[in-house]
Amino acid sequence: METLSHYLKVFQFSAKSFLINSGAALLCVIILISHGKAQDTFSIVAVDTLTGEIGSAGASCVTSSTTYPHGAAILSDLIPGIGAIHTQAAWNSVNQTNAHARMIAGDSPQEIIDWLVANDAQGNPTTRQYGIVDFRNNLPRAAAYTGINCLSYKNDTAGIFYSIQGNILLGQSIIDSMQDRFLTTQGTLGDRLMAALQGAKVIGADTRCAPRNSSSLSAFLRVARKTNSPDSLYIDLWMAYPQGFSGLAPVDPVDSLQTLYDQWKTITSVIAGGDGSGNCVRITKGNDGNTALDFSCFPDLQKLKLVIFDFTGRIVLNMPVTSPVIHPFSTSQPRHGLYFYQVLNQDKRMVARGKFFSL
């Protein structure tokens, strides 16, 4: 059997700079490069309502080519501080450009989709698939569209702050697994997007790749912070097998992307727990099993306010911090799931943030 190191020799490498708090760090990004349409794809766009980060991730059974230098990443249009657009299935560059222009003009995700359907560049919107999110005025919005003539299995699902879509899929289980992993994974937006892709990592998730013993042949993960420029994103990683690649895939692209992401986190010192704000709040469990937030590290509790959001971005608790340990949810009214919190000082400046699970 050929070794993995043998296969890695076919990879081409490119360097890309990533801005971090202490300056620029250089990261080698695997670029592996086929021709074909960005047709068979599973992808997700999402926003983090706490940080304002906007993310985009996906995979496809296309390799790289002159048209698609980074494989499936061609479908991703990420606009820092505003939103993200995925144009897939029968991908068309004019539709993607028009969608970008409509987002810059201020259209909502649903308005952009409605416009694209009514003004398709080739007069056939039934072969297109779109997933769009934005985050204007601290309000997350999302929308999805799947044309009836996209190749089956095709479907989409959208929440308030995310949209997941796919075509030529193994089945509905791919969409469901991506959604479940995204909503239940703790950590940063990058962690959760990567988890969503791992949820789709089954042989033949993109059915054209079943003979390749892989979910896909290319994958990408991109996250923008508010202050990023479009050509220098906080995270911009991709992996694609090269044009003309044949035979079985030695490593699933989602796993290769995971390796790149793990290396990126080490380089940029991203805290895997998902805070990264110098947070000193401790999440504990009381004797009754309920979640407790410990604020003992703050010298003056009377000047702090605690705000808790559910996974849709809706505020479920807004209260002053009156004791070193607070149980946000009572035993008589238990809440289950993923929650986000912010701690504000008297000037309404955020001094801590984080995420926790209430069981």
Please name the amino acid found at residue 297: C
Q: What per-residue confidence (pLDDT) applies to 287?
A: 64
C-alpha to C-alpha distance for 202 and 177, rounded to whole angstroms: 10
* CA neighbor of 353 nearest in space, from 271, 278, 265: 278
State the CATH class of domain 282-358.
mainly beta
- Radius of gyration, CA atoms only, the chain: 21
Q: What per-residue confidence (pLDDT) applies to 230?
A: 87
Query: Residue 76's CB: how many other CB atoms inside 10 A?
Result: 24
Predicted confidence (pLDDT) per residue in 297-339, tens digit: 887 777 889 988 876 677 888 999 988 888 888 766 667 777 8
Predicted confidence (pLDDT) per residue in 213-258, tens digit: 999 999 999 999 998 988 889 999 999 999 989 999 999 999 999 9
State the CATH class of domain 4-268.
alpha beta
Task: Provide the residue ranges of all domains of the chain, joining segments of one domain with +.
Answer: 4-268, 282-358
Domains 4-268 and 282-358 share a fold: no
